């Protein structure tokens, strides 16, 4: 088993009695502590959520259309070019 990182940060949560009971039962069923169950569950959900930003799946028709769009000629987008030249709202006085 890999060495675990030092756990120095605390997370405080509010939950209903029903939620606590359900989560506690699930943790016991999985044979882990309540903290370990919550951290593992939240970490898995976080990884799935973040993966949606980086990973997507396409069927063969969608893949061909995607590749055509990437390989196609660059489209001029004057409004976007103008927007990118303007200072952002964070740079404005």
User: For the residues of 55-88, what is the DSSP string, one character each?
Assistant: -----HHHHHHHHHHHHSPPPP-HHHHHHHHSPP
pTM for the whole thing? Answer: 0.53
pLDDT in tens, 10-69: 999 999 999 999 999 999 999 999 999 999 999 999 998 888 777 778 999 999 999 999
Number of domains the chain contains: 1
In a domain, 85, yes or no: no
Specify the long-range contacts of residues 7-15, CB closer than 8 Å, at least 24 apart.
13/38
**Which residue, among 65, 80, 15, 66, has the nearest Cα to 41 in the 3D structure?**
15
Q: Which residues constitute the domain of residue 65?
A: 17-73
| Inside any domain, residue 1 | no
């Amino acid at each position: 088993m890999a060495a675990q990182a030092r756990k120095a940060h605390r997370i405080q949560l509010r939950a209903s009695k029903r939620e606590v009971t359900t989560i506690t039962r699930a943790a016991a069923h999985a044979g882990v502590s309540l903290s370990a169950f919550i951290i593992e569950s939240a970490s898995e959900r976080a990884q799935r959520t973040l993966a949606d930003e980086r990973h997507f799946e396409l069927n063969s028709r969608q893949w061909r259309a995607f590749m055509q769009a990437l390989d196609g000629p660059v489209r001029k987008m004057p409004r976007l070019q103008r927007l990118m030249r303007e200072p952002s709202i964070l740079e404005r006085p």
